[in-house]
A and B are shown apart, each in its own frame.
Chain A
Amino acid sequence: KAGVTQTPRYLIKTRGQQVTLSCSPISGHRSVSWYQQTPGQGLQFLFEYFSETQRNKGNFPGRFSGRQFSNSRSEMNVSTLELGDSALYLCASTQTSGVNEQFFGPGTRLTVL
């Protein structure tokens, strides 16, 4: 089985712009979670989608949004980018049965200038 894929892998934007990141989960996985990883804060949960519905949301401002499509692919969008949004954005898919381990993608490295 192919792993979790994320596009693009690297992105450079300027303050005030918006960005859309994409995640394709492992085939058959219906749950997709998004995390922001920064050196000082570790992995911070953004949101989780299951069957096209947002099931859980972390403590991030409304500038951060996401969605999931019928094929379980997910996108997250960040509007009005700030310097502090520079981070590695990780997507993880889960089988939602058994152990519920999360399979992470390689991440998208976003740099905001």
Chain B
Amino acid sequence: GQQVMQIPQYQHVQEGEDFTTYCNSSTTLSNIQWYKQRPGGHPVFLIQLVKSGEVKKQKRLTFQFGEAKKNSSLHITATQTTDVGTYFCAGRKFDGYSTLTFGKGTMLLVSP
């Protein structure tokens, strides 16, 4: 079945440092979504990428979708303590309607 791998599993940074999490799918994706889950909370949708090579920005967050539509990344510039949480990617297969397959997430801890 489809697998979505996410690395790293965990990262601890100092406030102001950059952070990147990477997502790789075993199959070509129709689209990929990113979610953030704060400690004790539930996942909240951040963005969806659809086009090959697509790059989208949300303030300090930059999302990329690979040319082959099998990988994606989320980069946070100058992290803040409010960025703490687990970031999940979720891919939808390129075969008509299918479910979202979530990666296991990257837990980000930011120290002030």
Which of chain B's residues have a CB closer than 8 A to the CB of A106? 41-42
Is A97 interfacial (CB 8 A cutoff)?
A: no
Q: How far is the CA of A43 from the CA of B6 in the complex (A)?
A: 12
Q: How far is the CB of B39 from chain A (nearest CB, A)?
A: 12
Total interface residues in chain A, CB < 8 Å: 23
Interface residues on B, range: 20 to 34
- Residues of B with C-beta under 8 A to A59: 1
Q: Count A-B pairs with CB separation below 8 Å.
A: 47
Closest A residue to B102 by CB, please name it. A43
Cβ A45 vs Cβ B101 within 8 A: yes
A87 to B103, CA, bound (A): 17
Report which B residues bind A (CB closer than 8 A): 1, 33, 35, 41-45, 48, 88, 90, 97-105
Q: Which 9 A-B pairs have the closest CB atoms?
A: A42-B104, A101-B45, A43-B102, A104-B42, A56-B99, A104-B43, A99-B48, A42-B105, A45-B99
| A interface residues (Cβ-Cβ under 8 A, vs B) | 33, 35, 41-45, 48, 55-56, 58-59, 90, 92, 99-107
